Amino acid sequence: MIKVFKLPDLGEGLTESEIVAWLVAPGDAVTLNQHIADVETAKAVVELPSPFAGVVRVLHQPAGVVVHVGEPIVSFDIGGADEPTDSTLKTDAVAPAPVEQREANLVGYGPAVERGGHPQRRTRTGAGDASVPAASVEPPAAASVAPPAAAPAPASVEPPVAAPARERPRSTPPVRALARDLGIDLNMVTGTGKDGLITRDDVRARITESLPAPDLHGAEPGATAAQPATSLGDDVRESRSPIKSLRKLTAAAMVQSAFTAPHVTEFLTIDVTPTVELLDSLRADRQFADAGIGILAVVAKALCLAVARTPSLNTRWDEPAGEIVQYHYVNLGVAAATPRGLLVPNIGDAERLDLRGLAAALAELTTAARAGTTTPAALSGGTITITNIGVFGIDAGTPILNPGEAAILAMGAIRSRPWEYRGEVALRKVLTLSLSFDHRLVDGEQGSRFLADIGTILADPARVLTMV
């Protein structure tokens, strides 16, 4: 079994040490606590005792090198079978961040030692002691560059002062942890909190800023699709990349949702020809021609109307409080595929918007996502979600709930299909809706009625008159 030894903090709060000399070489057998190296810290040269008995396999760092605390310096073969995964290796990929370095805290040593054991006696200066020539009072030490306040030296005379160590960005430990998990460098984030404190929302905003333009409606082919189909990669058969950033967040959200909310999915396929005709007539109408109203806006409006009739689809299960939260508004999330991952910005108070307002809000959301300016506020607080899988040419699916929400509606592609129409088979515009809901909050009856309502509106928009 291989054991990796990483450089520990040999003093109190040290960040690095220099390996002065190795006293062993690969292949040497060592006993526990055998002196294997001399290491110099900011405080002391110390003898490094071997933490294992075994055979030295690798010296990861040569002598004379300054090593950060936590970096592997030596590996031992201690016999026995290899562990499937060596947990001691797991943080190896994380390089220490130089910007976070602290000055070594030299406990026990004050300022530079004055030789002789006793402080040098100096003449005390009194305020009225003008008779004493200034030069004999206390000659400034060589290291002191600050001129007396009364006689400021010209700036040009002042020796160049090394730039002060940049303070690390102000934030709180949980937010630093979040930034680390998401791979965000806090130096790149502008704090909007009190006194410039970087908040959780600032970190999230940075994610969206750094995203390439996503596309809500059209499929994003991405770079991989452009590659020839015969080549999946160059020479390697497998490659690995760290799980981080949005992928990590999405994964955690999906796992949390899939394994806490019991999902039920229902499908409904409907003839939406009347809606398509309605959209055509709106486009022909001068009043609505430039409103950009599409099928997504109609589905969004239908969903808001259906929520009003079956409110339990617009709720949240608050486990810690032991309560069900009923929303009396609809913050309508719209899933957006981006090359870096999934974002679900939402339209606040969508139920108050008319068709034109919804279409405008959807356009705005698309533009913001493309420009990477989606605000953290738009990413939080959703109550129910639509995902448009039709843009990928897909008919139906079993969507996973956006965590904390009770329902998610997937709309498939509109296809021309042979369909029963007035007792005959006709070519009609047909669409499948897939609705997943949280069975803790929503029974089959409510879920079915909600889905049927949306279907009814899309199949016969005039039926809205019977619902409002």
The footprint of another protein (CB under 8 A) covers 5-12, 33, 43-49, 51, 107-109, 113, 117-118, 173-174, 177-178, 181, 200, 204, 248-249, 252-253, 256, 316, 318, 327, 379-382, 402-405
Give the count of beta carbons closer than 10 Å to the beta carbon of residue 172. 13
Amino acid at 284: A
Between residues 369 and 379, which has the closer beta carbon with respect to another protein?
379
In the bound complex, what is the minimum distance in angstroms from residue 198's beta carbon to another protein?
15
Q: Which is nearer to another protein, 313 or 379 (CB)?
A: 379
How far is Cα 112 from Cα 142, in angstroms, rounded to an integer? 13
For residues 445 and 435, what is the distance between their CA atoms, to the nearest angstrom? 13
Pairwise CA distance, residues 288 & 356, whole Å: 8
Name the residue nearer to another protein (CB basis): 44 or 137: 44
Q: Cα–chain-centroid distance for residue 238? A: 25
Which region, left, alpha or beta, applies to residue 78 given φ > 0 means left and ψ of -120 to 50 means alpha?
A: alpha
- Cβ 156 to another protein, closest distance in Å? 40
Residues 6 or more apart whose CB falls under 8 angstroms from that of 403 comprise 253, 256, 257, 260, 261
Considering beta carbons, is residue 191 or 294 the nearer one to another protein? Answer: 191
d(CA 434, CA 389): 10
Contact yes or no for 177/192 (Cβ under 8 A) = no
- Check if 439 is active-site: yes
- CB contact at 8 A, 296 and 386: yes
Please give the structure tokens belonging to residue 276. Answer: 């398509």
Structure tokens belonging to residue 423: 């007792």
118 vs 326: CA distance, rounded Å = 76
d(CA 365, CA 76) in angstroms, rounded, equals 56
HSE-up of 383 (CA within 13 Å, CB side)? 22
Q: Which of 158, 203, 169, 162 is nearest to 184 (CA)?
A: 203
CB-nearer residue toward another protein: 16 or 395? 16
- Residue 278 has a CB neighbour count (10 Å cut-off) of 17
Q: Find the DSSP H helices in 6-89.
A: none
For another protein, give the closer residue by CB, 7 or 282. 7
**Shortest Cβ 318–another protein spacing (Å):** 8
Shortest approach of another protein to residue 93 CB, angstroms?
A: 19
Judged by beta carbon, residue 70 or residue 294, the one nearer another protein is: 70
d(CA 449, CA 120): 91
Residue 82 C-beta: closest distance to another protein, Å:
20
| Contact between residue 375 and residue 368 where contact means Cβ atoms under 8 Å apart | yes
Residue 253 C-beta: closest distance to another protein, Å? 5
Minimum CB distance to another protein smaller for 269 or for 380:
380
What is Dmax (Cα atoms) for the chain?
Answer: 119
What is the closest distance, in whole angstroms, from the C-beta atom of residue 8 to another protein in the complex?
A: 3
Q: Are strands 16-22 and 35-40 parallel, antiparallel or unpaired?
A: antiparallel
Cβ–Cβ contacts within 10 Å for residue 132, how many? 12
Alpha-carbon gap, residue 157 to 164, rounded angstroms: 19
CB of 342 to another protein, least distance (A): 13
**Residue of 68, 118, 263, 439 with catalytic role:** 439
119 or 128, CB closer to another protein? 119
Structure tokens at 209: 């800023």
Q: How far is CA 350 from CA 308, 329, 354, in A?
A: 12, 8, 9
Residue 247 CB, shortest distance to another protein, in Å, is: 12
Residues designated catalytic:
439
